[in-house]
Amino acid sequence: MAQQRVIRVSTEQPTCVVCVVGTEISLALSGCVPKGATYFDVHGTSGLRVKVIYNPELVTKPTGTPRWPLNSDVEVVVGINGPSRAVNDNKVRVSYCGPSGETLASAWLYLTCMAISLDADTSRSGVVQTSTTNKTKWTWGPDGEGAVLLVNCDRDGPSSGNTDNAYPYVRSHTDLQDMSLVILTTEGPAGISDNHTLLLQVSMFDAAKLRVFHAGGNASLSSYEHVLGSDKLSYTVECSGGKEQNSFFVEGLAFPDAGFDGLVSLNATLLEACGQNSPAIPVFSDTVVFRVAPWIMTPNILKPLEVFVCSIEERANNKNFLEAVRALAKEANCKLTVCPEVENRGDRWIQDEMEFGYVEAPHKMFPVVFDSPRNRELQDFPFKRILGPDFGYVTREPENGRVSSLDSFGNLEVSPPVTVKGKEYPLGRILIGSSFPRSGSRKMAKIVRDFLYAQKVQSPVELYSDWLLVGHVDEFVTFIPACDRKGFRLLLASPLACYKLFKEKQKEGYGEAALFEGLEGVERKTLDEILADETVYDDNKYAQSCIDWNRSILKRELGLSERDIIDIPQLFASKGGGAHAFFPDMVNMLVLGKHLAIPKPFGPIIGGQCCLEEKVRSLLEPLDLTCTFIDDFFSYHVWSGEVHCGTNVLREPFSFHWWNIVP
């Protein structure tokens, strides 16, 4: 239904009204019916569409002279075809007639028509189409409509400082490119503005989520005026007549979150003055709805662009580890960025400090780092070193400052695209390690989980990771690319697979072969010793049960079958408080395309080869992947982490556009 405005006519003087193209006028006729009138007739000039709406069960359409009965079963609606060339150039005449057809009086309506359209890139093509319809709803899917807003959380500069959207002015021309263009088109004769005002508006709630700049006439940055946002809820747009276009640039201030579904609206409202002492009142409103683009995570199967690793020189230096990662990054054609000790201050867990993702609008896309609330010595690195031109930054910290190990982002992963019982997740699903619901157990902070859930497009799955001392999902689960089937395999740490392997080797007569051979200061453990140790057995039966519970969740929530899963031999041990890897945790690997950097397990050497490495190679190399085993024993493993915990990867975004999802 078109926007309708009720207008009352009078037989005493013409009623003059300004109306907007695309809307309708519902004529109220009963206000001035002359005595004795029973019928009416109505005519409009050519720029108008005059329709008489009646209930055919109650009213017979007049034939010959169009005379309509004067009662509430007949309504007159006037549509407007296009903007006026002069004030009052469209006219409607209502003739009131007596029973025998004689005209008793006439009422005139003079209409000045104006075109007003507030437009954004609602078709998601990258450019703004003007005079579009269906702007008030935002719909998902390939046939969906609705504009997209980016949180302007990068720092195009010019100088350092905060993210661009912390400043109520346009910082640079590149800053402008992160914003969404809105065009307000008006057309009408001069003279309307005497008693009409056109406002651009935002609601109090939305004003906290966006900021609008009005493009001035020239290219200088200072000509972009901050007109809406925060305490600025409305802005008067000058219309002097003729066809005019005002350009506005809109930036998002906040990501979708608990209590904010991501939708924000801008309104263009026409106000009509109504006497000297009365406030103006609204007579037309056009709305454009935006959805703030979600923060999207990138799974292991996406192409790696840049690897991050810390350089540690003091206690337990990682010199050799760093060189191994550097070599692999080179092979994988990835940039390597080393976070120097002066910045990492001895904190080597760069995986835990941050998670890379991105935001996308049809006109622009840039990566965004999510800074975890863990806040150890690497705390300043994401803001100081990652945030920059076209590289955004977001963080969430619980108000009480209380975080647990489960708030580290080694505990935040994302699956490749999956289809579950017919429901598609083309951007995969987020995996969060959580506790099995029990009083007092550790859980990722609500503020972080709320943020992740609110992004909507990678619907999170909560796994049970609290059985582990550190408690991160990357300690028992990872994904690797595969050229067949679903395009990936799920790798799960498997104590049983390890027992099976060790028993086989024992049976083959290698019971004396030992783990940790040649590692200085580390006690070697023979297969015979390990297989005879009941504590180790109990610990691993427990670990296997916990992983099996997660296996069921993963199969159900990612729609996987056993054939999508590969069991990687691994043993765990229990310290007070939870399980940890007994030898370097092989699933805790770095995935760079076809190159896997796997923690070197220091397993029993049999026939000159580590039997764990040999087993893993035999499982993964048939998938056309190369396995490089990297020694992280003293530099990471003994500190309760491995290769994955000590690295981080910026990856290419999905080619699939998030707005094409139907969540």
CA distance 481 to 591: 9
Shortest CB 359 distance to a second copy, Å: 24
What CA dihedral angle connects 102, 107, 112 and 116, to 10 degrees? Answer: -100
Strands 15-20 and 103-119: parallel
C-alpha span between 391 and 54 (Å, rounded) = 60
* CA distances, 211 to each of 155, 229, 491 (Å): 16, 4, 45
CA distance 307 to 328: 10
- 10 Å CB burial of residue 53 (0-12, 13-18, 19+) is exposed
Q: Shortest approach of a second copy to residue 438 CB, angstroms?
A: 6
Instruction: For the beta carbon of residue 354, count every other beta carbon within 10 angstroms.
Output: 24
CA separation for the pair 227, 220 (Å, rounded): 17
Type of residue at 209: K
DSSP 455-471: T-TT--EEEE-TTBSS-
Closest Cα to residue 410, out of 481, 495, 476? 476
Q: Does residue 599 have a cis peptide bond before it, meaning omega lies within 30 degrees of 0?
A: no
* Close Cβ partners of 100 (under 8 Å, ≥ 6 residues apart): none
Nearer to a second copy, 100 or 535 (CB): 535
193: its two tokens: 């503005």
Of residues 315 and 503, the one with the C-beta less far from a second copy: 503
Helix (H, G, I), strand (E, B) or coil at 519: coil
Angle, vertex CA 209, rays to CA 208 and CA 210, nearest 5: 105
Token reading at 49 = 């569409």
CB of 217 to a second copy, least distance (A): 26
Smallest distance from the beta carbon of 153 to a second copy, in angstroms? 23
Residue (521 or 622) nearer to a second copy, CB? 622
Q: For residues 313 and 538, which CB has a smaller minimum distance to a second copy in the complex? A: 538
Q: Nearest distance from residue 122's CB to a second copy, in Å?
A: 20
Parallel/antiparallel/unpaired status of strands 74-80 and 595-599 = unpaired
Minimal distance in Å, beta carbon 205 to a second copy?
8
Of the candidates 490, 477, 475, 486, the residue with the CA atom closest to the CA atom of residue 620: 490
What is the C-alpha to C-alpha distance for residues 452 and 410, in angstroms, rounded to an integer? 15
Nearest to 376, CA basis, from 400, 413, 403: 403
Provide the minimum distance between the beta carbon of 426 and a second copy in the complex, in angstroms, as a whole number. Answer: 21
233 or 316: CB nearest a second copy: 233
For a second copy, the closer of residues 7 and 339 by Cβ is: 7
Question: Judged by CB, which is closer to a second copy: 548, or 624?
Answer: 548
Give the residues across from 478 on adjacent strands: 491
Place of tokens 């709406």: 53
Catalytic residues: 352, 472, 474, 645
Beta strand 24-28 with 4-8: parallel, antiparallel or unpaired?
parallel
Angle subtended at Cα 411 by Cα 339 and Cα 580, rounded to the nearest 5 degrees: 95
Nearest distance from C-beta of residue 509 to a second copy, angstroms: 14
- CB 13 to a second copy: min, Å: 13
* DSSP one-letter string for 217-280: SSS-GGG-EEEEBTTB-EEEEP--SEEEEEEEEEEE----BTTB-SEEEEEEEEEE--SSSSPP
Spatial separation of the C-alpha atoms in residues 482 and 299, rounded to whole Å: 13
Q: What residues does 424 pair with on adjacent strands?
A: 419
Smallest Cα–Cα separation from 42: which of 127, 102, 109? Answer: 109
Helix (H, G, I), strand (E, B) or coil at 628: strand
Cα Rg of the chain (Å, integer): 34
Q: Are 316 and 641 in contact (CB under 8 A)?
A: no
Least separation in angstroms between CB 496 and a second copy? 5
Task: Report which residue type is found at 355.
Answer: E
- Is the distance from CB of 346 to CB of 655 less than 8 angstroms? no
Q: Nearest approach, Cβ of 274 to a second copy (angstroms)?
A: 4
Torsion of CA 111, 112, 118, 124, to 10 degrees: 70
Nearest residue (CB) to a second copy, 464 versus 634? 464
**Minimum CB distance to a second copy smaller for 159 or for 276:** 276
391 neighbors 349 (Cβ within 8 angstroms): no
From the CB of 564, what's the least distance to a second copy, in Å?
A: 9
Q: Which residues bind a second copy (CB under 8 A)?
A: 1, 3-6, 8, 26, 28, 31-32, 53, 55, 72-73, 75, 201-205, 231-234, 258-259, 267, 269, 272, 274-279, 281-283, 421, 436-439, 443, 446, 464, 467, 496-497, 500, 535, 538-539, 541-542, 544-546, 548-549, 551-552, 555-556, 561-563, 574
Q: Are the C-beta atoms of 39 and 25 separated by less than 8 Å? A: no
User: Based on CB atoms, which residue is closest to a second copy, 160 or 276?
Assistant: 276
Residue 544 or 640 having the CB closest to a second copy: 544
Measured from the CB of residue 138, what is the shortest distance to a second copy in angstroms? Answer: 17
In sequence order, the β-bridge partners of residue 79 are 24, 49
Terminal CA-to-CA distance of the chain, rounded, Å? Answer: 28
